[in-house]
A and B are shown apart, each in its own frame.
Chain A
């Protein structure tokens, strides 16, 4: 072992390290035994949506095109019932400097770090967010370290993460690559402590406020282009920042009736901390391995309170299969001339189905694309899948089984969505909430109100579920 600071010692300093590295005293926002003042936590940062837009404009983040996918809409109508087949638009977030909406998420953190005279930023992420933080840090003249879970015990790197390593290094960041496991957090803490850098966590208020501009912008653009707000916005969902920030931004723009749908790739049966499963997922984000646990209990992150609280904002939550996402990725390239993905194409696959449920004049927005390339492209993932013994074939996507068979649909009519029962997720959230209580702690009225807001339900609902649990 390489370090004198033991796992236990470091973990015991966790709260102090986090306070130093984020500069937020979360304790002051506690209002009950579970409740905290979420809105005040966000508001106290001083970044409203206009300020965020301004800061982002300085680094060419945002103002991405909103593109109508006319050919895909026609394909929807070819398989939909008469009169059905909503128009599908996509917000081309790949146009951001590092190639995804994560630039929005990174921008305020890096801005804040610079304002507060930190000399560098650290982020624990294997995804686009690392590249985004590295890119923003490069522009701001700050040092950057990215800690990734990158390879399995055979030394085989997940190709999409390998591409992120390359991208981060291209921006001059240091990348610490680890094998599989949640103890990444220990290495992350060690680096924070050693460097005194700012924790550009995915889950601080800065992160979520940075994403609000995405929802805000797309609502304004849709008004400009079509003189309406979108009927539905679909967001690829993992840790919850994307859904949370987008939904909040939509509301701030006045799009209060827009339905917000979260979409994830179904990876059921695969374990997120399993060395064996690591390279058998074919997706690194936007999947149920993150979205199910994070939606049903968001406070499982590096900071004391997760500012990404997706269950508050989603009206519906659906899953699609791996094979369906690969299929729609190919369709997007060949019918719309857009090579994008993987992540945004999860909500595109869902949009393909949800558009069939809606009348022709309705409008759906897929709220992001991301750049693609070596490592991120379906070829990279499917070649690795085959190498790992996963079967790839054409067929009925109902036979898709994560880690065993990736089934590419034979016809667009075979694409479906599976609804994740929100009632089930809410109950699971409340179950976690009760479990998290310490001995002798009792829920007050403030807590019940908080839980109703958290679960996007009512006090009566919360009371009923809790009474049944206790």
Chain B
């Protein structure tokens, strides 16, 4: 954890924007109970360790301070397994068209 991450590394920093209980009045109750959090990526300005308050330069050249939470953050969105509830639809609708002589 104390390992130093080199300057210039692509990282993500965290900031607490509004703490729980200090949210805008129009926000529903469940959201009131949690903070407004912010995550921003950029290049590390000085060597730092995970968890440190540090500074980044974003791709537009903006400097931003925040807690270092990720190094070279991954894109993790994916398809995942196919959805069984969708897998029969193609054959069902083709069967309807076949019955009308529209498909072989």
Which of A's residues lie within 8 Å of B, judged by CB?
1-3, 7, 71, 74-75, 77-79, 120, 143-145, 150-151, 153, 157, 159, 162-163, 165-166, 169, 172-183, 186-187, 194-195, 271, 273-276, 326-327, 330-331, 333-335, 374-375, 377-380, 382-383, 392-394, 408, 411-412
Contact = CB atoms under 8 A, between A and B. Distances in A.
A439 B73 CA distance: 53
A327 B62 contact: no
B18 A183 contact: yes
Interface of B: 15-19, 23-24, 26-28, 30-31, 33-42, 58-62, 65-66, 75-83, 85-86, 89-90, 92-94, 96-97, 99-100, 102
Given A174-B42, A382-B83, A275 B31 contact: yes
Given A274-B28, A392-B83, A178 B38 contact: yes
Given A150-B39, A178-B38, A331-B93, 14 more contacts: A1-B17, A163-B77, A182-B26, A273-B26, A275-B31, A275-B34, A326-B86, A374-B78, A375-B78, A379-B81, A379-B83, A394-B85, A408-B86, A412-B96
Central interface residue in B19, B31, B34, B39, by most chain A CB within 10 Å: B31
23 contacts: A79-B96, A145-B58, A145-B60, A174-B40, A174-B58, A174-B59, A175-B41, A176-B38, A178-B17, A181-B31, A183-B18, A183-B23, A183-B27, A273-B26, A274-B31, A327-B86, A334-B89, A334-B93, A374-B78, A377-B79, A379-B79, A408-B85, A408-B86
Contacts of A273: 26-28, 31
B37 A374 contact: no
Nearest to A334: B90
A150 B40 CA distance: 11
A181 B82 CA distance: 32
B60 A144 contact: yes
Interface SS of chain A: helix, strand, loop or mixed? mixed
